[in-house]
Structure 1
Amino acid sequence: MSISAFFRLFQPKDKVFYTLFEKVSDNLLSMSKYMVEGMSSKENITEAFFKKIEDYEHANDKLTHNIFIELGKNFITPFDREDIHQLAASLDDIADFMYASVKYALLYKSPYLKSFATFSKYIDDSVVELQKAIYNLRDFKKPKEVLESCVEINRIENVADDLFSKEMGALFESKIEVIEIIKIKNIIEYLEDVTDKCEDAANIIESILVKYS
């Protein structure tokens, strides 16, 4: 019996952490799918759209807080306490940056770019894989599936990074006024950052997998 398997014998029967992480991933997926819908056109970027995104972000904050509370209550955890903290924080970052992307798209009233919708789709694709990875992480019974999702998230981040470079080049070559360039650049940076945050979460999950599977 491996050391990791031995320690799993003493893990609590209450799977509260797995359940909370799954709830976070569910909330993130609902948020990303709603974001795809809202960022599909300039007309959809409204106060009502932003308010719904804000609600998802607040829900994520509450779930993250619950994870931290459980860390204080449970002496034995399904995997390393630091890893639980890091994963919870990284998932919260995803919600925060989605929220920021929509907030600035609304506040800046900048020219709308088709890439806003494309980035949103990349974000949603990443969150879909992240949800799969988190559900398959439970009890470390499906390491292959977890790893496949992490690899796909990394691939999507690379595609999003290429799009970011392309959009930046086109933006600075355009004849748009400087103030509008600054606005668009800021929005695109936040959108691309979300895919970075998804990759960060995937890297943490992959690290946990290596330690315990």
Structure 2
Amino acid sequence: MNISAFFRLFQPKDKVFYSLFEQVADNLAAMSKDLVDGLKSEEAITEGFYKKMEDYEHANDKLTHNIYIELGKNFITPFDREDIHQLTSSLDDIADFIYASTKYILLYKSPVMPCYSSFASIINDSVLELKKAIYAMRDLKKPKEVFAHCVEINRMENMADDLFSKEISALFESNKEVLDIIKIKSILEYLEDVTDKCEKSANIIESILVKYS
């Protein structure tokens, strides 16, 4: 290895990592928006809609892989390698659980219930706040703005918890068949888990800011 190549290993790669995280945020925002649009109808979701969610999930997997490749290539990172790994993993979980939600709606042949759409709206709002937080993280120059977005994500997760409790209670009091109750409960759990993953990502971002602000 020549001397110039050696020194390149120690050059900060902030722009690479920030850019990749922003691409992940953009992909998640597009995915959550299409989730809202796809769950507006009360009919069963289509194969086409499911395929679109699958494509988003695969795109997120590729971006996640690219971040891990950059971690392996570079000694200097914008913040701790462990924090980068944790944030990458938590963002990937968001895509995974959105995809799983739509997969089981399709597999269970479940009609789209109004509560699915309500969860989709909270998910989309949470992801948009997460996107704003990630864009404001660049160079860690806007900590107050990032914190504000994280607080909003936490508030939305509480809304999702309340909605989940309400819908589960109503489900158990309904006249639906036991098998249908099991299917709907499973789907609601996946949808609620998405907001948990958004909150986890926000908590990781807050931890990074505490270390570096």
What TM-score bracket applies, with the shorter chain setting the length? Answer: over 0.9
CA contact (8 A) 1:71 1:81 kept: yes
Counterpart of 2:135 in structure 1 is 135
What secondary structure does 1:43 align onto? coil
- Normalising to structure 1: TM-score of the pair? 0.93
The one-letter code matched in structure 2 to 1:206 is E
Counterpart of 1:73 in structure 2 is 73
Counterpart of 1:61 in structure 2 is 61
Size of the aligned set, in residue pairs, is 204
CA contact (8 A) 1:111 1:184 kept: no
Render the CA deviation track for 1:147-178: whole Å, top value 9, x for unaligned: 00000000000000000000000000111000
Alignment CA distance shift 1:210-1:106 (3 Å): same
Structure 2 gap segments, 5+ residues each: 1-9
Counterpart of 2:20 in structure 1 is 20
1:43 Cα offset (Å): 2.9
Determine whether 1:29 maps to 2:29: yes
Give RMSD over aligned pairs. Answer: 1.2
Counterpart of 2:100 in structure 1 is 100
Structure 1 gap segments, 5+ residues each: 1-9
Distance 1:148 1:94 in 2: 20
Determine whether 1:186 maps to 2:186: yes
Distance 1:153 1:135 in 2: 15
CA contact (8 A) 2:32 2:127 kept: yes
Counterpart of 2:110 in structure 1 is 110
The one-letter code matched in structure 1 to 2:211 is K
1:110 Cα offset (Å): 2.2
Counterpart of 2:212 in structure 1 is 212
Render the CA deviation track for 1:119-167: whole Å, top value 9, x for unaligned: 0000000000000000000101110110000000000000000000000
Alignment CA distance shift 1:86-1:14 (3 Å): closer
Distance 2:138 2:107 in 1: 40
CA contact (8 A) 1:111 1:180 kept: no
Distance 1:13 1:163 in 2: 41
Determine whether 1:145 maps to 2:119: no
Distance 1:185 1:13 in 2: 44
Counterpart of 1:38 in structure 2 is 38
Counterpart of 1:6 in structure 2 is none
- Normalising to structure 2: TM-score of the pair? 0.93
Determine whether 1:49 maps to 2:49: yes
Determine whether 1:89 maps to 2:112: no
1:14 Cα offset (Å): 5.1
Identity %: 75
